Structure 1
């Protein structure tokens, strides 16, 4: 039997022409020359042989990366080596900007990318960037396990991607080298590196100028004073050594950053039910571990930044209403881009007990 397309083509650009020129291989959901689904070979224990490529861009020591690596390991072990997941970490195969299109076209079977970047495909996915929409880790978990997660998953499937797991990154904070940010007015006149469209609207509403750049560029930009500050999770701040180039950290928990483990829908539909069940159950276990780890990582990395010399200001809960009120333009922008579904999702979140 000829090799399955999933182990032959590694770039999106060649995918179409190679599919057209290989008569014996099948795209996901098709039938190979030997009659097996998607070119897979049946094994005696009920699993069919499959090699699934999984790409992500986070550093390998990040808690999401550790969870994803463990997920891949467990799937391979539990299938007796029949279902192999080949992991390509830290942008080895695809950049975060390339990831979504690769998943949707089948250029890669499985990948991890941020909800912020997925919001360009499914605007409602921008809900995780809406300031103060998810005030607690517990509420976020309930939302994703309930109607919010179900509705977002359905929208993703319409576009061609099956969401296998929501991987909690943790809360977004602000670092800067100019002054303590103790209230929204303190942002006035600063240049802040943003992580997406909705956060940029909030930054502008606070009186600062949002700046777009890759995560790897932030350290140098802070060092050279090209920007005054940046927003990110404290895990990334520790890994990228923000403490060396910025003095002040404001812990305000304004956005609950999510990453999605998504699978090409056509490929998923072609997998045998036994394999789908294995992937689903292992992803569920991993999602729970990552959610618990996110909260611990937020606490630990905030303390690390403090120990490394950053001046840490934790916004009191009593002050949060003024931060949320000042961020209202960001809520309006989300409702404008996500429409009726966006309003429905925000209502769902606010009705969670």
Structure 2
């Protein structure tokens, strides 16, 4: 109880002190990547827009490269009032809202277009507010891209992955995904993946073209399967108490500017996905295969049982609805 009171005091003191002295409210926006990435550019664009249109009311301070928090503790730091906004990976939010695990489902979405359709539905919008009772609210979604497999074995059929060790983020869905393939899921920090692939500790991993290229995974993997089997994205979040403490007009304008910045970031992400794929192809270090429609149907048949392992946690109706958007 004392902790909750302390947190609330910190939030409201910061806000009302700013208002009392006519100073702009400071929003510390934390993220874990370089400034020269789509997410980094989104955060910087948000800062620029706020400086241009409402600098007398709000000041945005952007802290990239995990300077203030990483995705594992970002929610706690928002609740403690140490930061006010962040953009963690969706997978990092499942403990606050298990339904967000929907985005980890393998072969549920057949591309970014289907993901965008889902985010615009009332169900997609509801997920943004599904953490409110835990003190966190989502303000918008942002893309990284669709995930693909890389490995030192050629992976075309689901059986090709059997016995291979794949790096995963901490996720019950991703664990079930690889276990359904007869593969061995290994939780490993992102920063350690390259060395683990190079040493042979891991046989493969799953990631977007952007991450494969920027982390040079294509240099230590013999094969890449362009599978588009899963989605990797982010959610811009803030504290519910902090957000509600802002004047309605300020919230409305900030939401509008953030939406514009996210739109810019998503365009950057789509372009980067294309450019980074071309860079991997040009490098010629890994042999690349693309799943055709016949191959995808084989994978979906194997993966559908994984979806419904989580009917009670995520919701069968939500999973079924998302599938119809392809």
Do these two structures clear the TM 0.5 threshold for a shared fold by scoring above it?
yes
Q: Residues 102 and 319 of structure 2 are in contact (CA less than 8 Å); yes or no, is this contact kept in structure 1?
A: yes
User: For 1:325, which of 301, 305, 310 is the aligned residue?
Assistant: 301
Structure 1 match to 2:323: 350
- Of structures 1 and 2, the larger Rg is shown by 1
Answer yes or no: is 1:226 the counterpart of 2:201: yes
Could you tell me which residue of structure 2 aligns to residue 193 of structure 1?
Answer: 167
1:41 aligns with 2:14: no
1:179 to 135, 138, 153: 153
1:96 corresponds to which of 71, 92, 99:
71
Deviation, structure 1 residue 19: 4.3
Q: Is the 8 A contact 1:167 1:259 kept in 2?
A: yes
Give the drift of 1:66.
Answer: 1.2
With 283-292 and 249-258 compared, the bigger mean Cα shift is at 283-292
* Matching residue of 2:10: 27
Whole-Å Cα distance in 1 between the matches of residues 272 and 306 of structure 2?
27
1:6 maps to: none
Give the deviation of 1:140 after TM superposition.
1.4
Q: In 2, Cα distance between the equivalents of 1:41 and 1:153? A: 28
Separation in structure 1 between the aligned mates of residue 21 and residue 324 of structure 2, nearest angstrom? 47
Separation in 1, partners of 2:157, 2:325: 28
Superposed counterparts of 1:61-100, under 5 Å: 61-100=36-75
1:286 aligns with 2:261: yes
RMSD across aligned C-alpha pairs, in angstroms? 2.3
Provide the C-alpha distance between the structure 2 equivalents of 1:31 and 1:247, rounded to a whole number of angstroms.
55
Shift of 1:222: 0.8
Q: Which ranges in structure 1 are unaligned for 5 or more consecutive residues?
A: 1-14
Shift of 1:18: 11
Distance 1:147 1:81 in 2: 34
Distance 1:290 1:334 in 2: 31
Partner of 1:271: 246
1:115 counterpart residue number: 90
Q: Distance in 2 between matches of 1:43 and 1:345?
A: 47
Distance in 2 (CA, whole Å) between partners of 1:159 and 1:216 is 29
Supply the distance in 2 between the matched residues of 1:43 and 1:19 (Cα, whole angstroms): 22
Q: What is the CA–CA distance in structure 2 between the aligned matches of 1:186 and 1:192, rounded to whole Å?
A: 13
Tell me by how many angstroms 1:307 deviates.
Answer: 1.2
Q: CA 1:216–1:102 in 2, change beyond 3 Å: closer, same or farther?
A: same
Q: Whole-Å Cα distance in 1 between the matches of residues 21 and 225 of structure 2? A: 55
Task: Determine the C-alpha separation between the residues in 2 that align with 1:60 and 1:124.
Answer: 30
Question: 2:202 is paired with a residue of what secondary structure?
Answer: coil
Equivalent pairs counted in the alignment come to 323
> Which runs of no fewer than 5 residues in structure 2 stay unpaired?
none
1:261 aligns with 2:236: yes
Q: Could you report, residue by residue, the CA deviation over 1:291-337 in whole angstroms, capped at 9, with x for unpaired residues?
A: 33333222221221111122111111222111111113421233243
Alignment check: 8 A CA contact 1:62 1:235 kept: no
- Cα offset for 1:81? 4.9
CA deviation map 1:87-126 (0-9, x unaligned): 1101111122111222244332111101101012100001
CA contact (8 A) 1:114 1:259 kept: yes
2:307 and 2:319 in contact (8 A); partners too = no
CA distance in 1, matches of 2:211, 2:77: 25
Q: Distance in 2 between matches of 1:278 and 1:304?
A: 39
Structure 1 residue runs of 4 or more that deviate by more than 4 Å after TM superposition: 15-20
CA distance in 2, matches of 1:285, 1:236: 24
Q: Give the match for residue 178 of structure 2.
A: 203
1:326-341 mapped onto 2 (5 Å cutoff)? 326-338=302-314
Say if 1:42 and 1:49, in contact at 8 Å, map to a contact too: no
From the superposition, tell whether residues 40 and 131 of structure 1 become closer, same or farther in structure 2 (CA, over 3 Å): same
